[in-house]
Chain A
Amino acid sequence: MSWMFPVLSRRNFFKASCGIAGLTLLKPSTSVASPAALPQDQAEKSYSICNFCSSLCNIEVTTRTIAGVKRVVKLDGNPHSTLNRGKICARGQSGLRQTYDTDRFKQPLIRVEGSQRGEMKFRAVSWQEAWEYIATRQKHAQIKPWEWTMIGGWTSCVFYMNWSVPFALANEIPNIVASPMQHCVATGHFGTDSLTGNFNIHDEVLPDYDHAKYILLIGNNASMGAVSTCRVVRFATALKNGAKVVAVDPRLSETAAKAHEWLAIRPGTDLEFSLALLKEMLDHGYYDSEFLRTYTNLPFLVYQDAQGQWQLARDAEKRPLAAEEGTNHIRTLPAYTNKNTRDVEGQPFYPALVAEDLVWEGRPVVTVFQAQQAEIKDCTPEWAEKITTIPAATIRRIAYEFGTTRPAIIDPGWHGARYGNIMMTRRVQAMIQTLNGGIDQEGGWVMSGEFHHKLEGFQHAKAHGEQLPAPMETLPGIEFVNMLVNALSKGENFSHGHPGWGWAYAAQQKAAGQPWVAVPAIADEGMKESIEGKLLWRGEKYQTRALFINAANPVRHYYSDAHWKEMMRHPNMELIICLEVLPSDTTPYVDVILPSSTYLERSEPNIYGNGVNSDLAVTTRYAAIEPLYDSAEAPDVLLELTRIISGAPERLFQAMERLTRLPAAAVQDALEKQRQAGHKAPFSRACREISFQVTAQRLGTTVENLDKILREKGVYPEAHWRDLLKTAGVPRKLPTTTPSGRLEFFSSIFEGLRMQGATGPHFNVLAGYFPAQCRADKSMDEPLAADEFYFTYGKTTTVSYGSTNSNNPVIAAINTLKKDLYTGVWIHPQRAAQLQIRHGDAIILTNTLSGQTAAGRAYLTRQIRPDTLFIHSSFGIENPQLTRSFGMGGTATNKLIPHIVEPVVAGFRSQEFTLRIAKA
């Protein structure tokens, strides 16, 4: 056809259009129906922080005002942010549709009289009525402070810790259950922490993929595939620079798809793989020996006691000992330092990693290095091959490649539950990273700017014998969790004498000779017993009768869902309140629903650090729009609850002053002024105002300037990571936050737990082997039954962990497009054929350990090992009020996972069983 088209040149293209980017410039003005339809448009930009994962990406928010109504139209990565470098993922891009989600809670709701928890029967009320209801129930049931438990999701922990913990202490509530402690932060992370001194690895360590030459990802899809944008933007540079990427995963995840090698390991055998790698590296010298002898406790001398336990050789003052390289002279080293290069007399010292024929006080002693080798002497690649199905030659080659390519990164997974031995696996992986010297080093693991900043303050105070103020703001790494654990675990910290029920339960179990959890920090172990009246403290029942749930969805992402439904429905439970944006699978089980604003409607009550960014910077949120509904802010809710529970709101201000940086008097003054001005969320506004003042002062600038920069750029930069490494790098410049200050292969933390009576392989002071136990009577390498499988689960790129953002219409549309892949149960075609299961068939899955069952749909794929099933954990939503999540299908993984925990932190053993499947 030879049509002569009017060629639309750029000039007449613009003539025809309204000329402004992003608008209806496609239409000639004559096609507009009426003048009112032509928008008078003003585009504005503001800055905020994304709310959908722990990457905490800085975002740029575009709003438009039309006919007097201001709306958020687009979200983008903040181009000024060195954290996410101007990029955000699908959840970030879709985020504005959470604010405009038609399923949102719009006002407070109270359960209809006579209805049962589990029924979505609520009536809309005013805030006044909601508070009166809560106050009346509290008073009528005479709920004691220790009978309250706070349940927090990760957003409430990340953003509102500075209110939640003071709230707990101000009201003398010793009970917090926080996600995702038992899923990752306390489990896998804790393994790494014991070596590095961190507390929350994925919030404190951002591997420098930009400069790494070799990247080994083990059981890890969260960094890349589930999209942690700040990591992916750096990984992209690594790929471009030709870094070699190896992914160890039972399935062909998004991460494995980008790897040069996908090692399809048997699930539950990551420890065997990691130990074989460690052994190879130690035996063949694939390590930076100068780094190890200087900055770790590998040179420390140890002996085996009568029970075969490794003990540190110590002098009379409990200081460690080491042998001099070459001479074998034994010297005493300082108890706390980052370097082993001087002894306690200040003499130069060159410690040996290996020393033969040493005797000390009549005992044979060896170095920790030698003890560690002995501990894993049987963990050969051949041994590992049998259990992992990864060929021994491959394991040897990977050990060689990793150990001799520098800089290299081993990047362990995030979800640290799954098996009881994952914590140990993560310890071993941290050891492997340390062998390369890749701690706080270009191309290796790099601690966050915030961690370095807090560490500098901490070390300075320690050196001068000073007490640090505001511990929640100033304590780095594991020191922070030590403080929290000390606060909540000791009854003497509370006038009522009750510690958290988790601690009471552990004590009760221990006294009864039953399995007990050594560090039940912020965990749910013992909660059911407390609710049921089976927990005693000092001879009296320690009941749990009230819950405050803030941005958490335990019915869907704790284990099991039946366990939580039972707890919440128990007749002893008097009052359950939640603060939420959207309905979830938990909200049908509460009594009072308080609607929360969304992140785009909120000017944060605090100035925050820049997440895991290696650069040091501060940031905050500026509300893009006014709240759409009659919603509340967490600080104001907590203040009102304080008034109801303890009658003394000033206690909250005092607790905040003690723990965070905000001076109580200034906050109270500001609060009064906000109240008089009639502003909504006056406490939140007051905290923001004072936080700006305190932060500006710390930064040596004015509030006006701080505000100006944050408004213009979204981030206020303080220091570049390379400069921070020069003064605060751990361990090269400063001691880290382990008890000895060095990177610890011999773990002081596990030694401490051992001294408290914790026994067994979980508490090994060194890296040691104990297998996953998916079947009571069979090891991992023994054959499975014809219909039996191992089980693994993971995230989608679109749905945040435990979140209701599967309801977001954009997210739901993408998930619908990929429905089979995302909601199906992945089964290898070989196994499916043997069971006559075809693609799309309805199946029933049964947990062989617990008997739990769930329904699913078969998705046949070679992207999974034949002996394994895989389920994306994002689906299986039961609440029809989530109109787009409900009806997506999928299988809720927590219907198949029992409440079984490991003994260190009550970490969930959420894959430690097998599943049988059958056609439905």
Chain B
Amino acid sequence: MQHYAMVINLNACVGCNACMAACAMENQTPVWSNKWRTYVHDIELTVGDSARRRFFPRLCNHCDNPPCMSVCPTGATRKLDNGIVFVDDATCMGCEACALACPYDARYTFEYRDVAAGKKFFGELIHRESPSMDKCSFCAHRVAAGQNPACVQTCVTSARIFGDLNDPNDYVARLVTSGVAKPLLPHLGTRPNVFYIGEINLG
């Protein structure tokens, strides 16, 4: 059984936003409301008198101990056998407890007005009939077909890398095992499955 994870190499991300666009098109996220499943933050770090500029992609971390799942009253949020934390939008009642619980700010509301706007935007191709909470699904539908998530597929610098932690020879597994790729807020005990390679440039 796979255990999917992503590594994001901050040395490679050029802040091109291709992943945001790819995800929006693949997963029909509500661009009209400016709500996203993934973000690339453009961060200015002041260092003395000078600056550094960091591009920081962020998405759901598909935690092994997900707070969002703990608080979900309906069971809409589930963890699949392959590690993906998944939202069944038919079951979700939109209480937003998950969004409150998530320390990574990964979730947003897909509301009735977004359903209506989506029908206009995507026409008969709209995936979604009902409102719900939404977040990155690691493109579970693509992964099931043996493909990479859309963001990984298009990442022009291959800053995003996707793989299987249960395969010791997988590149992502090796990066994580070696310790060069680290998760966010590890002290919270969420056991995330998105790992970051920090910038090595000493400046």
- Listed in ascending order, the chain A residues whose CB lies under 8 Å from chain B are 1, 3, 5-10, 13-14, 21-28, 31-33, 37, 39, 64, 66-67, 69, 71, 73-77, 86-94, 96-97, 224-225, 227, 229, 232-233, 235-236, 239-240, 252, 254-258, 260, 797-798, 809-811, 813-814, 816-818, 821, 861-863
**A87 with B155: in contact, given A10-B80, A816-B34 (CB under 8 Å)?**
yes
CB closest residue in chain A, given B144: A21
Q: How distant is the Cα of A798 from the Cα of B20 in the complex, in angstroms?
A: 11
Say yes or no for B123: interface residue by CB 8 A criterion. Answer: yes
Interface residues of chain B: helix, strand, loop or mixed (majority): mixed
Q: How distant is the Cα of A96 from the Cα of B24 in the complex, in angstroms?
A: 12
Q: How distant is the Cα of A798 from the Cα of B19 in the complex, in angstroms?
A: 12
Q: Which residues of B contact A232 (CB under 8 A)?
A: 14, 16, 156-157
| Nearest chain B CB to A82 CB, angstrom units | 15
**A8 with B78: in contact, given A1-B71, A21-B142 (CB under 8 Å)?**
yes
CB closest residue in chain A, given B88: A26
Q: How distant is the Cα of A232 from the Cα of B12 in the complex, in angstroms?
A: 10
Q: For the complex of A and B, list the 5 residue pairs with the smallest distance between their C-beta atoms, beginning with the closest.
A: A862-B51, A93-B21, A236-B157, A21-B145, A257-B53
Q: Say yes or no: B25 contacts A233, CB within 8 Å.
A: no
Q: How distant is the Cα of A346 from the Cα of B123 in the complex, in angstroms?
A: 73
| Nearest chain A CB to B69 CB, angstrom units | 7
Q: Which residues of B contact A74 (CB under 8 A)?
A: 25-26, 150
> Using an 8 Å CB-CB cutoff, how does the interface string of B48-91 with A read, 1 for contact, 0 for none?
01111111000000000000011110010011111000101110
Say yes or no for B167: interface residue by CB 8 A criterion. Answer: no
> Using an 8 Å CB-CB cutoff, how does the interface string of B24-36 with A read, 1 for contact, 0 for none?
1110000110101
Q: Which residues of A contact B25 (CB under 8 A)?
A: 73-75, 93-94, 96-97, 810
Q: Which residues of A contact B50 (CB under 8 A)?
A: 862
28 pairs, A vs B, C-beta closer than 8 Å:
A3-B75, A6-B75, A6-B78, A8-B80, A21-B145, A25-B144, A26-B88, A27-B129, A39-B125, A69-B123, A74-B25, A76-B153, A77-B154, A87-B18, A87-B154, A89-B154, A90-B16, A90-B18, A229-B156, A232-B157, A254-B15, A258-B11, A811-B21, A814-B20, A814-B21, A816-B34, A817-B36, A818-B42
Q: Which residues of A contact B31 (CB under 8 A)?
A: 809-810, 813
| Nearest chain A CB to B29 CB, angstrom units | 9
Q: How distant is the Cα of A92 from the Cα of B141 in the complex, in angstroms?
A: 22
Q: Say yes or no: A236 contacts B156, CB within 8 Å.
A: yes
Q: Which residues of A contact B20 (CB under 8 A)?
A: 90, 814
Q: Which residues of B contact A233 (CB under 8 A)?
A: 156-158
| Nearest chain A CB to B36 CB, angstrom units | 8
Say yes or no for B178: interface residue by CB 8 A criterion. Answer: no
Q: Which residues of B contact A818 (CB under 8 A)?
A: 42
Q: How distant is the Cα of A763 from the Cα of B158 in the complex, in angstroms?
A: 44
Say yes or no for B44: interface residue by CB 8 A criterion. Answer: yes
Q: Which residues of B contact A229 (CB under 8 A)?
A: 156
Q: How distant is the Cα of A7 from the Cα of B31 in the complex, in angstroms?
A: 32
Number of B residues with CB within 8 Å of any CB on chain A: 64
With beta carbons under 8 angstroms apart, the residue of B22, B26, B52, B86 that contacts A8 is: B86
> Using an 8 Å CB-CB cutoff, how does the interface string of B151-176 with A read, 1 for contact, 0 for none?
00111111100000000000000000
Say yes or no for B109: interface residue by CB 8 A criterion. Answer: no
Q: Which residues of B contact A93 (CB under 8 A)?
A: 18, 21-22, 25, 154
| Nearest chain B CB to A24 CB, angstrom units | 5
**A252 with B22: in contact, given A21-B145, A86-B153 (CB under 8 Å)?**
no
With beta carbons under 8 angstroms apart, the residue of A89, A97, A252 that contacts B156 is: A89
Q: Say yes or no: B125 contacts A28, CB within 8 Å.
A: no
Given contacts A96-B25, A813-B31, 20 further A-B contacts (CB under 8 A): A9-B80, A10-B144, A21-B147, A64-B125, A74-B25, A74-B150, A87-B18, A89-B154, A90-B18, A93-B154, A94-B24, A225-B16, A227-B16, A236-B12, A236-B156, A236-B159, A254-B15, A254-B53, A810-B21, A811-B21
Q: Say yes or no: A26 contacts B90, CB within 8 Å.
A: yes
Q: Which residues of A contact B51 (CB under 8 A)?
A: 252, 861-863
- Residue among B16, B54, B144 with max Cβ neighbours from chain A (10 Å): B16
Q: Which residues of B contact A96 (CB under 8 A)?
A: 25
Q: Which residues of A contact B113 (CB under 8 A)?
A: none
Q: How distant is the Cα of A93 from the Cα of B16 in the complex, in angstroms?
A: 11
Q: How distant is the Cα of A28 from the Cα of B144 in the complex, in angstroms?
A: 17
CB closest residue in chain A, given B141: A21
| Nearest chain A CB to B2 CB, angstrom units | 9
CB closest residue in chain B, given A224: B14
Q: How distant is the Cα of A6 from the Cα of B130 in the complex, in angstroms?
A: 22
| Nearest chain B CB to A805 CB, angstrom units | 11
Q: Say yes or no: A39 contacts B75, CB within 8 Å.
A: no
Q: Which residues of A contact B157 (CB under 8 A)?
A: 232-233, 235-236, 239
Q: Which residues of A contact B147 (CB under 8 A)?
A: 21
Q: Which residues of A contact B42 (CB under 8 A)?
A: 818, 821
Q: Say yes or no: A257 contacts B15, CB within 8 Å.
A: yes
Q: Say yes or no: B78 contacts A817, CB within 8 Å.
A: no
| Nearest chain A CB to B24 CB, angstrom units | 5
Q: Say yes or no: A22 contacts B81, CB within 8 Å.
A: no
Q: Say yes or no: B156 contacts A817, CB within 8 Å.
A: no
Q: How distant is the Cα of A465 from the Cα of B201 in the complex, in angstroms?
A: 56
Q: Say yes or no: B71 contacts A798, CB within 8 Å.
A: no
**A92 with B34: in contact, given A3-B75, A21-B145 (CB under 8 Å)?**
no
| Nearest chain B CB to A260 CB, angstrom units | 6
Q: Say yes or no: B81 contacts A9, CB within 8 Å.
A: yes
